Structure 1
Amino acid sequence: MIDDRTAPLAGLRVVELSSFVATPLGGMTLAQLGADVVRVDPIGGGPDIGRWPLAPSGRSLYCGAGLNKGKRSLTVDLRSARGRELVAGLAAAAGTLVTNAPPRPGLTYEELRERRPDLVYARLLGHRDGRSAVDYTVNAELGFPYATGPEDHDGPVNHVLPAWDVACGLYLAIGLLAADRRRAATGEGRHVELALHDVALATAGNLGYLAQAQLGEARPRIGNDLYGDFGRDFGTSDGRRVMVVTLTARHWRDLVAVTGLERVIAALEEALPADFSRDRDRYTHREALAGLLAPWFAARTAAEAGKALAGTSVLWSHYRTFAETATGLARHPLMAELTQPGVGPHLAPGSPLVLDGRQAPPEPAPELGADAETVLGELLDLPPSEVAALRADGVIG
């Protein structure tokens, strides 16, 4: 939580009951904008408490440190009626709950609304009918693995980025804020539901992939080539690879000019015939064009190729590993050193949003259950003696 009363979401309080990626990301997005987000976990931690990657200490770098930055933490025995009653009171006091947990007695939308009629209750599902799903099963279900990977590969190829979890977490934050805005205007609460499968399905539809299939054209698997225009990776003399993309006629003209291939490309256009100022012709004849361009890259180091391309409009980048990317983080304004309990000092990102020239720096994720006294004191007016009694009785951790 940003300690700044001018933060965009200062004054918004959110109780988060969540695990894994999407919902914690939604909660952290709100916290980085100034909301007071209280994450409630089972005593001892939720199912993602030890999820990889791990720090040398064994702490999860994504659950414990990555997706809970800036929140406060409370652990509660959610199996007990007293524990659920405590969380229900917190949700009513905060007025906003975000969750992907299965509904528990006393914590359903209908029950919580009786306590707080203007409650905003945002819940993430796998499928809208209640069936479970995760990013990897949703991705497999929609067809993306059969459009990913080398052209001559027969089976599906998964990708490492949980794209639907990320999109879903941001959609969840937007939906919650839309409901909160309506509440501010009308005094009415709202029950927001979002399904992971629906987010992936909507994205596939919005990008035209589904309409393309309905109209009879299968999305091809083309390896590292760019679909619909010219873009691919090229090897350099020092064993590196460079990704090059052209999306406009200007991009293409600059690429041809910097590689000195104007006459050769003009001759190829005349021979085919083709007009490489058009994206469809660049895509159709991408193999021939790549064959002409490859020797220019192969004769240069990655640094030399980059220096030549840097003065043009061509879209390009060197390929890097995560380890290589990590070595230059200290110079990036998004990153700052963060000392995370159980992990130690490391460079971590703040919010990527820049508002009036200001960017929220990263804040440590809370130690599990560390904020019981302050959370219960502020939201429920419980004195320290009562908090201590709840801990002694095993209701909170």
Structure 2
Amino acid sequence: MYDLLKPLRIVEASSFVASPSAGLYLAQMGATVIRVDQIGGGPDFNRWPRSDTGASLYWEGLNKGKKSVAVDLGRPEGRALLAALATAPGDDGGLFVTNYPVDGFLSHETLSRRRADLVTVRVMGQANGGPALDYTVNCAVGIPQITGPASLGDHPVNHVLPAWDLLTGAYAAFALLAAERQRRETGRGQEVRIPLSDVGIATIANLGQLAEVLTTGDNRARYGNDVYGAFGRDYVTADGKRLMVMAITPRQWSGLVKALDIDDAVARIEGERDVSFAKDEGARFEHRDALAPLVEAAVATRTSAELGPLFDSLGCCWGPYQTMIEAARDPVLVRDNPVFATIEQASGLTYPVPGAMATIPQATRQPPIRAPRLGEHSDEVLADLLGLSSGAIGRLHDEGVVA
């Protein structure tokens, strides 16, 4: 946690991954993020993975550091409260993140009647308002057809990382700050719509992959664990450990050749094929049929304990394949990583959780704040932000509008 955004107040009405992750990133940089949910929890309140006690580890992960308000959004009174929170006065407020539909009681047009300078960042499925999730975007942009080994033919492979959700969430946080900056200069509010499908296809285009198929007329082939356009693949050591070995830069390539003592063999291939691998990563990829067996044979004669320090000393780029349990126990990744702190969650579970992913050497890193209990801050927020009296809040509780 850092205090960079401490004055800002963001109201979030969202679920699943993309929109809540935007709120998470903003909260970890110091913004006050107030998440408003249906009483009893929204559609993501009990999502997997869950603990043995039934607590959603997903919820605890994506909502760290936020405040939670629970209202009955099925009733006009509950909807009015959410609209009032999103448009509450204050120079640092009027910032709303949501993945609710474009139309309805949370439309920007409706809310901006309450506050003209409102900034709404709306995560969507498709730009035309149609539904989309990470997996439906991923299959549509062609990634599953180039993932996995060539032996799969045309059979698609879904990956388990919700990449488009995460990119969309990060872009939503960035877009909110951009719109807020312009509001400070002009006084003008606006709505920023961020469809998952646009993030997916734009990212593919930004990486040159769309241009590739448009200019060649062909889809990219599957290359298994080989990194496209560069020298990189998994190799097995003498003690059975699997390492990912990369050589993108000239220094990484020269270090790898020296570490494995394959200088003469590489020079022979260069002479036979009239090519130089020293500076051209594309050439290393094109001639991987000759280079990969050299590396494979050399790695297989040494243990991971031998290769690791040697690779590090020569500037090689490599990493061990680990299970997620091994990653969780990795001292560099988790145990000794200042990004993580072990805290008790509202569920009663205690485990390491990350704060802000950025490190600011000039600032003191604050420990992460646990995710809230559902509705934990309802009374506090309604009193502080809307100025409701204890009696008024009590009546809302009695009527089942607030929990």
Please give the TM-score of this superposition, normalised by the length of structure 2: 0.94
Q: Name 1:112's counterpart in structure 2.
A: 111
User: 2-side partners of 1:354 and 1:164: how far apart?
Assistant: 24
1:252, 1:314 within 8 Å by CA — same for their partners in 2?
A: yes
User: 2-side partners of 1:117 and 1:17: how far apart?
Assistant: 19
Q: Name 1:49's counterpart in structure 2.
A: 45
> Match for 1:74 among 69, 74, 81?
69
Within a 5 Å distance, the mapping from 1:66-145 to structure 2 comes to: 66-93=61-88, 94-103=93-102, 105-145=104-144
1:373, 1:387 within 8 Å by CA — same for their partners in 2?
A: yes
Shift of residue 206, structure 1, vs aligned partner: 0.3
Letter in 1 for 2:177: L
The number of equivalent residue pairs is: 392
Q: Name 2:356's counterpart in structure 1.
A: 351
1:55, 1:343 within 8 Å by CA — same for their partners in 2?
A: no
1:352, 1:359 within 8 Å by CA — same for their partners in 2?
A: no
User: 1-side partners of 2:323 and 2:266: how far apart?
Assistant: 34
> Match for 1:280 among 269, 279, 282?
282
User: 2-side partners of 1:55 and 1:365: how far apart?
Assistant: 15
Q: Name 2:210's counterpart in structure 1.
A: 210
Q: Any idea what SS the aligned residue of 1:221 has?
A: coil
2:102, 2:129 within 8 Å by CA — same for their partners in 1?
A: no
Q: Name 2:386's counterpart in structure 1.
A: 380
Q: Name structure 1 gaps, 5 residues minimum.
A: none
Q: Name 1:162's counterpart in structure 2.
A: 162
Letter in 2 for 1:270: G
Within a 5 Å distance, the mapping from 1:305-316 to structure 2 comes to: 305-316=307-318
Q: Name 2:147's counterpart in structure 1.
A: 148
2:101, 2:129 within 8 Å by CA — same for their partners in 1?
A: no
How far does the alpha carbon of each residue in 1:273-322 deviate from its partner, in whole angstroms, 9 at most, with x for none? 32122222211110211111112211122222212211112111111111
Letter in 2 for 1:134: L
User: 1-side partners of 2:119 and 2:387: how far apart?
Assistant: 22
- Asked if residue 300 in structure 1 is aligned to residue 302 in structure 2, the reply is yes
Q: Name 1:323's counterpart in structure 2.
A: 325
User: 2-side partners of 1:209 and 1:359: how far apart?
Assistant: 38
In terms of mean alpha carbon deviation, does 200-209 or 288-297 score higher?
288-297
Shift of residue 34, structure 1, vs aligned partner: 1.1
User: 1-side partners of 2:189 and 2:291: how far apart?
Assistant: 58
Please give the TM-score of this superposition, normalised by the length of structure 1: 0.96
Shift of residue 218, structure 1, vs aligned partner: 2.4
In terms of mean alpha carbon deviation, does 198-207 or 346-355 score higher?
346-355
Q: Any idea what SS the aligned residue of 1:359 has?
A: coil
- Alpha-carbon RMSD: 1.3
In terms of mean alpha carbon deviation, does 214-223 or 117-126 score higher?
214-223
Q: Name structure 2 gaps, 5 residues minimum.
A: none
Shift of residue 102, structure 1, vs aligned partner: 2.4
Shift of residue 233, structure 1, vs aligned partner: 0.6
User: 1-side partners of 2:366 and 2:124: how far apart?
Assistant: 30
Q: Name 2:265's counterpart in structure 1.
A: 264
Letter in 1 for 2:251: R
User: 2-side partners of 1:139 and 1:293: how far apart?
Assistant: 33
Q: Any idea what SS the aligned residue of 1:115 has?
A: coil
Letter in 1 for 2:44: D
